[in-house]
Structure 1
Amino acid sequence: MTINTYQVHNVLRAYGRQLSTGKRLARQTAKETPAPADKITISTEARKKSVVDKVTSDIIDRIYHEGPNETLEKEVFKELEDEFGNPLSIGRKGTEMVFRAIGKRLGEDIQDLSQEDSDRLKARLEEITRDKVQQNMLQ
């Protein structure tokens, strides 16, 4: 049996077409198939921290926009006032939270605190709130 060169060329050409078609199909199916979602596992401590941070942020936001109305908000704000030594109120300067010190004589003396003092009080308010939220989660 004799095999001609044109028959060998036809077989090689057909094989080449199958290879290129297979590569195209593989690329196309790879694009169509969504990549498996990465699975992220979070430790229980990280989840607790995330929940505490979220609750703390919500409480601070409520205090900023509405004032201390709920029991926990009042506790936190009272502790901040006790540490500061004077009653406080919260105001806004643009988008920033600004604290005002209220004099002890029926609110006659209201004084805006400096931005540094307000930032320090805000940081302390966040710390106190975070501590209270953590304590309430353990109970």
Structure 2
Amino acid sequence: MNTQSANVRTMLRTYGKQLTSAKRLARFRQALGASKPMDDIAKQAKRRELVERIAHEVIENLIVNAEHSPVVAAILEQLESEFGHRYLFEYPVDGSDVQILRETEHGPLYVEGSERSKIMRRLWEITLSKVDDTML
């Protein structure tokens, strides 16, 4: 009889340890689950930063190079379709800010003021969208 009660106590102690371990594991899993949204936010922030950096390089490529990559060509096509004009982007020799020229029947015209700001803002938005869509 004494052996049987010792076995029962040992069995209950083992189950108690298993129950304690299961509770710890459940709390650990719950803590991991709670931190997961923060990980997602951090990953999204890193991705956003990377997309912005690549978009900046794409715009630099658009301005500096005469020959355009397929991504740059798609960006320019969308910009032209939205605004109804073809635009040229160039840096002046003196190193000042980028100049935007709109092609017209009478030759290129400089775009300035609010129209220039609007075009640059839309160019940035289109570029971010294209880069984000093409990234894995």
| Length-normalised TM-score, structure 2 | 0.62
Are 2:108 and 1:77 aligned? no
- Kindly tell me: are residues 91 and 62 of structure 1, through their superposed partners in 2, closer, same or farther at Cα, counting changes over 3 Å? same
- Give the secondary-structure state (helix, strand or coil) at the position aligned to 1:95: coil
Cα offset for 1:81? 1.0
| Length-normalised TM-score, structure 1 | 0.61
Whichever residue aligns with residue 52 of structure 2, its letter is: D
Which residue pairs with 2:100 in the alignment? 99
Which residue pairs with 1:133 in the alignment? 131
Q: Distance in 2 between matches of 1:119 and 1:68?
A: 24
Instruction: Indicate the structure with greater helix content.
Output: 2
Structure 2 unaligned segments of length 5 or more: list them: 1-38
Whichever residue aligns with residue 101 of structure 2, its letter is: R
Are 2:117 and 1:116 aligned? no
Which residue pairs with 1:87 in the alignment? 86
Q: Answer with 1 or 2: which has the greater Rg.
A: 1
Q: How many residues align?
A: 95
Are 2:43 and 1:60 aligned? no
Q: Distance in 1 between matches of 2:89 and 2:74?
A: 15
What is the root-mean-square deviation of aligned Cα atoms in Å? 2.0
- Give the secondary-structure state (helix, strand or coil) at the position aligned to 2:135: helix
User: Does structure 1 retain, via aligned residues, the 8 Å contact 2:87–2:102?
Assistant: yes
User: Does structure 2 retain, via aligned residues, the 8 Å contact 1:68–1:77?
Assistant: no
1:33-63 deviations in Å (ceiling 9; x for gaps): xxxxxxxx88111111111011101101111
With 58-67 and 120-129 compared, the bigger mean Cα shift is at 58-67
1:10-53 deviations in Å (ceiling 9; x for gaps): xxxxxxxxxxxxxxxxxxxxxxxxxxxxxxx8811111111101
- Kindly tell me: are residues 76 and 68 of structure 1, through their superposed partners in 2, closer, same or farther at Cα, counting changes over 3 Å? farther
- Alignment identity in percent? 20
